[in-house]
Amino acid sequence: MEDVKTFFDRIAPYYDRIVQMAGAKYVLWSKYIKLLLSQNAPGRRILDISAGTGSLDALLVKEGFDVYAMDVSFAMLKQSLHRGLGGRLVAGSFDAIPFSSGAFDAAISTFDSLNTVLSSDELLRVFREVHRVLVDGGVFLFDMNSPYSYRTYWDGLERVDEGGGMMVVWRAFRNGAITRLRIDIFLREGRCWRRISGELLERAYPLRTIIGLLRRAGFSRVICLNHMGLSPCGRSTMRYQIMAFKIV
């Protein structure tokens, strides 16, 4: 099993097409993040700790935010060089953020990136690092797939997306709290197809575990919403949208 960095290095040139084919709506997503940030962050200096190719961050910059895009995969960040983020691209990992304490008004993580953190101890280290780089009154916005989502949607998933000379085959297999996601990308090259494959592990965390770890990391107030909405989380929530506040 390859690590997260290797997986995303491999698929970086095709990532934006993959997620668009899967139905990602970046403009709508950026409006949602803007709404939450505008109502809850004390300022507009933002760190995205899982920036990927920077598609969402470029839209947030257009909305007036000062966004720094960080990702563990430099290959993913290279895809964002044409998006106007300038010198605000940073290679770094969740648990060792290369910025000084109190550097940001808010931090974000999207597209269930934190589900790739496979142990509670690791997730606690991530939360502590984010808490460290936030100003007093800062907020951490992130989404995570719920255990309900992995049980009812991801477990046994077989899906094919096709378009523009590319076909993507998704397969997922759940074993307890861990789900193995396999992606096979087929690229048309003349009369032939070239195949690129990768696998990624994701872990489902109960909401009470996430909140407990956030509190241990120093966040004093935590709110959970249904992702892309404003209603509170419930038993059938597919993806959590978490807001964690650093209040000293």
pLDDT at 25: 87
Domains: count for the chain: 2
Residues 112 and 78 placed together within one structural domain of the fold: yes
Amino acid at 153: Y
**If you average pLDDT over residues 207-225, what whole number do you get?**
98
pLDDT at 2: 64
Residues 222 and 237 placed together within one structural domain of the fold: yes
Q: What is the pLDDT of residues 36-53, one digit of tens each?
A: 999 999 999 999 999 999
Q: What is the pLDDT of residues 177-193, one digit of tens each?
A: 999 999 999 999 999 99
Q: What is the pLDDT of residues 89-148, one digit of tens each?
A: 999 999 899 999 999 999 999 999 999 999 999 999 999 999 999 999 999 999 999 999
> Is pLDDT above 60 for 154?
yes
Q: Cα 63–139–39 angle (5° rounding)?
A: 50
- Domain around 13: 4-145+206-245
Residues 77 and 25 placed together within one structural domain of the fold: yes
Write the CATH number for 96: 3.40.50.150
Residues 231 and 118 placed together within one structural domain of the fold: yes
pLDDT at 10: 86
Task: Let me know: does 26 contact 34? Beta carbons within 8 Å.
Answer: no
Rounded CA-CA distance 109/111 in Å is 7
Strand, helix or coil for residue 26: helix
Residues 36 and 156 placed together within one structural domain of the fold: no
**If you average pLDDT over residues 229-240, what whole number do you get?**
96
pTM: 0.94
Residues 103 and 187 placed together within one structural domain of the fold: no
DSSP calls for 205-216:
--HHHHHHHHHH
Q: Which residues pair with 200 in a beta bridge?
A: 181
Residues 17 and 76 placed together within one structural domain of the fold: yes
Write the CATH number for 174: 2.20.25.110
Residues 67 and 38 placed together within one structural domain of the fold: yes
Residues 20 and 137 placed together within one structural domain of the fold: yes
Q: What is the pLDDT of residues 2-39, one digit of tens each?
A: 688 888 888 889 898 888 888 888 999 999 999 999 99
Residues 44 and 136 placed together within one structural domain of the fold: yes
Q: Which of 202, 217, 234 is the last residue of a domain?
A: 202
